[in-house]
Structures are given as structure tokens and as C-alpha cells.
Amino acid sequence: MDAGEMRRCASIDDAFVIEHTAEILKGSDVDALEAVLYVQSRAGLFDQMTKTVDALEKAIPAKKNVMAPFYRAMTIKDTVERATALEALTTCRDALREAILITTDAELRMQKLSDYLVIQSDDTIAWAEMAAAYRKHDRHDEERFCYQQILLANPKSWSAALGIARVAKGEDAASYALLARRLCPDKTCEPVIKALKAAARKAGGATEKKLLKLAQKE
């Protein structure tokens, strides 16, 4: 699983990442460490982010890691200073995206993201952030559209399929829950299992029994 996929999963289920943070910080899984970093960033846990970045740089030595300056810039608590540091990383698409995401005005941030996605339509992390914003306002049709854009850019994105399963209804929810289950490399992944059970309740009948059986199989 790549770092982007980890972050997209984090944007759907922050609690899942936070619950496993202590365990992740003990290891050297760069993808998982990046997911923790992004969740902490959204939650404003800047003191904790420094520890996570330390673990990231230990996992990938700074001399070999072109993302190290980006990681450090994200830990700056002051919004203006952080924006300045991110904007200085002109060759890093991640920096451009993050500079947009720290915009404090929610409406302006969404407009900037929309403009950004016109020229960076394959940035699945940006689409995931848009989906998360729509979810907070129960705008599920727009949220689903964002997940569909992720699947267009990356048909193997189980987290996007998971996102659609959570907002879809009936057989549609069941289909995407099954797709997430098939694509996810971890067949015991807690968010996917939860989605299967939720889809089962929505579907009812024979489909419910089938999905519950799959959810309990592992």
C-alpha cells in the first residue's frame, strides 16, 4: 500500500489511524507513518507531528529523502510561517496542495482546491480532502463524486471504493463494499469489515447474509 492510499484511508477513518499511532511509531513503515502525520496535521497536533517526522526521517535517511523538508514544514504551528515554508518548496506538488489545505477560510480553501484540481486532476489526495470536506456537511453526492474521481485515477484504490460504499444505498453500497474488500491487501482491515457489515444492513435479505459471511470469514 502506498503513502497516498494510506492517506486516503485516513481521510475516511481518522480514528482508525489514531488508534494505532503508538504501534505505528514503533515501526519503520513509511506509508503508515505518513498517514499518521496527515491525521495529526488535520487535528492540529503539531507537537506530536514532530515526533512522527523524527520517525519518518529515521525510516528514510534525510540525505535520501527529498520529502524531508516538506515533512518539517508541515510541523510549523504558525499558519503564516508554515505557508511560507511550503510555498518555498516550488518543485513539490505535495507542498502546493498542503499550502492550499492550510487556508483557514473553508469556502476559499474549497475554491482553491477546485482550481487546483483542474490542472492536477490525478491528485487523489486532493480529491480525498475534498470528499472529507463534503462529508462534514452531509453533501454525500459531491462526496461520492470525489471518490469516483479517485477511482478513475487509480482503479485499485480500495479506500475510494470504501468511501463510496459508506454513502451509497442498497445493492450499490454492497457492490462497492465488496470491491473494497477485493482490492484491500489486508483482508482483516477494520474499516473495510465495518463497511461490509453496514452495507449488509442496508441491503437486507440474501445479500445481507452473504456480506455478513464475508465480514466474518477472516
Task: Give the domain ranges of the chain.
Answer: 1-92
Q: What is the pLDDT of residue 208?
A: 63
20 CB-near residues (< 8 Å, 6+ apart):
32
Element (H, E) at 218: none
Q: What is the pTM of this model?
A: 0.65
pLDDT of residue 140: 93
Which of 153, 151, 199, 154 has the alpha carbon at shortest distance from 175? 199
Q: Residue 67 belongs to what H/E stretch?
A: none
Sign of CA dihedral 6, 13, 172, 130: negative
* Other Cβ atoms within 10 Å of 59 Cβ, number: 16
Residue 148: per-residue pLDDT? 95
pLDDT of residue 214: 63
Would you give the end-to-end CA distance of the chain in angstroms? Answer: 20
Work out the number of other CB atoms within 10 angstroms of the CB of residue 23: 10
CB atoms near residue 194 (< 10 Å): 17
* pLDDT the model gives residue 150: 93
pLDDT tens track, the chain, 218 positions: 555 565 566 556 777 788 888 988 988 887 788 888 888 887 888 889 999 998 888 887 765 566 677 788 888 888 888 878 877 775 567 777 877 877 778 888 898 888 888 878 888 888 998 998 899 889 999 999 999 999 999 998 988 998 998 898 878 888 888 888 888 877 777 887 888 788 777 766 666 666 666 666 55
For position 16, what pLDDT does the model report?
Answer: 77
**Closest by CA position to 179, among listed 194, 197, 192:** 192
pLDDT at 111: 86
